[in-house]
Amino acid sequence: MDAEVFRAWIVTAAGVIDEQRDHLTQLDAAIGDADHGINMARGFGAVLAALEPDPPATPGGVLVLTGSTLISKVGGASGPLYGTWFRRAGKALGDASEVDLPALAGALEAALAGVQKLGAAREGDKTMVDALAPATAAFSKAAAEGVPRADALSALVTAAQAGADATVSMQALKGRASYLGPRSVGHEDPGAASSVLILTALRDVLAAP
């Protein structure tokens, strides 16, 4: 998996985020500031603009630039959190020109650790961590066991979706949604939902022939 593959991931993710912008914003309207979809779409649009003139030559470079752009262009909590996620993943990959499945798994583990440190969130707090943590664990397990790439990617997305679905019944303990207390129950966390979209884009790009 080279830089071109990682650029394709980001382009695909940007497209899906833009398509689902209104849905993400509706989720956020129920328990947040009603701007998650708008902010994410704007941020990924800026990422595409940043990648176009002089694309980084390594997978790590693509992810670091993606993260840095999101931090500078996206308001609220989403920019710093997703920016940190991509930057940590990119830095974990280093200067390698090609990335294998175990290296990608390690990068996703580093990315998750960065998000958890920044946001001080754990599974069960009704945040993006509820999608990212089980997805990362499932993917790392699959990569360590040497399962086929398609199966590892399927495990990644299945776990992420299950984690996002589980946020519906949770009471938010972090972020603006936590101010609602019990009223936050019954709504999917928008950050978990957008995490699923980004990881699904990764699966779709890597699974392509």
- Residue type at 100? D
Contact between 89 and 63 under an 8 Å Cβ cutoff? The reply is yes
Give the whole-angstrom CA distance, residue 147 versus residue 12: 25
User: Taking the domain 3-207, which CATH number applies?
Assistant: 1.25.40.340
Contact between 112 and 174 under an 8 Å Cβ cutoff? The reply is no
Contact between 105 and 147 under an 8 Å Cβ cutoff? The reply is no
From first to last of the 209 residues of the chain, give the pLDDT tens digit.
Answer: 999 999 999 999 999 999 999 999 998 888 777 888 999 999 999 999 999 988 899 999 999 999 999 999 887 788 999 999 999 999 999 999 999 999 999 999 999 999 999 988 888 888 999 999 999 999 999 999 999 999 999 999 999 999 999 999 887 777 666 656 677 687 889 999 999 999 999 999 998 76
Ramachandran sector of residue 124 (left: φ over 0; alpha: ψ -120 to 50; beta: rest)? left
